[in-house]
């Protein structure tokens, strides 16, 4: 059983404050919802407290800035910080350098290819947190695809569009399955459903 201490509570508060102005794409749902969901999946699949905390903080550098790395390392330890860094495919500052849709799409593709290559050698700790993140995201996309008020328009929210998003989640599922990550089977089922619902 995963034992959660006051560190986990402090990490929830850190994530809440860091992402306070952010919501899930296409909704008014506080972004903390996703972070709690990822941490919950990490615990469900047998992760440690460090992994669960990394699940809470996995998007802080990417969405809120590179300065958070040292704060996370100081407050939650090297193990947590290393997982968070390894789950980050680009800082908020680096993403902001690209302005036009073409630049953003090219940068997105580069980052995703790099991240996929990185997962091939990533530690089991990183794989669990990353796979839980992708599983939670994929489930959210499927939920929107099944909602007649949203449907295929969900892909308009993503830099990769429908084609890029389907490619990326398919490639992620393959890597996680090959590496034997605990949530990989669940992710494969959700990605299968995602593909079925994405046909015109």
Supply 185's token pair: 């089977």
- Reported as a single tens digit per residue, the pLDDT across 114-164 is 999 999 999 999 999 999 999 999 999 999 999 999 999 999 999 999 999
**Longest pairwise C-alpha distance within the chain:** 49
pLDDT of residue 11: 98
User: Which residue matches tokens 């940068």?
Assistant: 107
Computed over every residue of the chain, the mean pLDDT equals 94
- Is a pLDDT exceeding 80 seen at residue 109? yes
pLDDT at 95 over 70: no
Share of the chain above pLDDT 90, in %: 86
In the prediction, which pLDDT does 98 show? Answer: 67
Sign of CA dihedral 59, 65, 18, 29: negative
Q: What is the pLDDT of residues 27-50, one digit of tens each?
A: 889 999 999 999 999 999 999 999
Query: For residue 62, what are its two tokens?
Result: 């990417």
pLDDT at 93 over 70: no
CATH class name, domain 6-197: mainly alpha
- Chain CA centroid to CA 140, Å: 12
Percent of the chain that is helix, strand, coil (3-state, to 5): 70, 0, 25
Q: By C-alpha distance, which of 147, 159, 146 is closest to 197?
A: 146
* DSSP, res 89: S
CA 79, distance to chain mean position in Å, is 18
């Amino acid at each position: 059983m995963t034992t959660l201490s006051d560190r986990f509570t402090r990490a929830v508060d850190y994530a809440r404050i860091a992402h306070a102005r952010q919501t899930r794409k296409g909704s008014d749902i506080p972004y903390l919802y996703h972070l709690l969901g990822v941490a919950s999946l990490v615990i469900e699949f047998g992760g440690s407290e460090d992994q669960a905390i990394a699940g809470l903080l996995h998007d802080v550098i990417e969405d809120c800035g590179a300065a958070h790395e040292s704060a996370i390392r100081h407050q939650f330890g090297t193990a947590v910080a290393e997982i968070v860094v390894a789950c980050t495919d680009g800082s908020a500052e680096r993403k902001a350098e690209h302005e036009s849709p073409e630049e953003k799409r090219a940068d997105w593709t580069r980052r995703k290819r790099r991240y996929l290559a990185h997962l091939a050698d990533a530690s089991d700790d990183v794989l669990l947190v990353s796979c839980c993140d992708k599983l939670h995201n994929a489930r959210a996309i499927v939920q929107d695809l099944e909602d007649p008020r949203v449907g295929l328009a969900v892909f308009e929210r993503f830099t990769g569009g429908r084609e890029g998003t389907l490619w990326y989640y398919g490639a992620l599922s393959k890597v996680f399955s090959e590496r034997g990550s605990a949530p990989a089977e669940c992710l494969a089922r959700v990605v299968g459903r995602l593909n079925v619902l994405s046909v015109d």
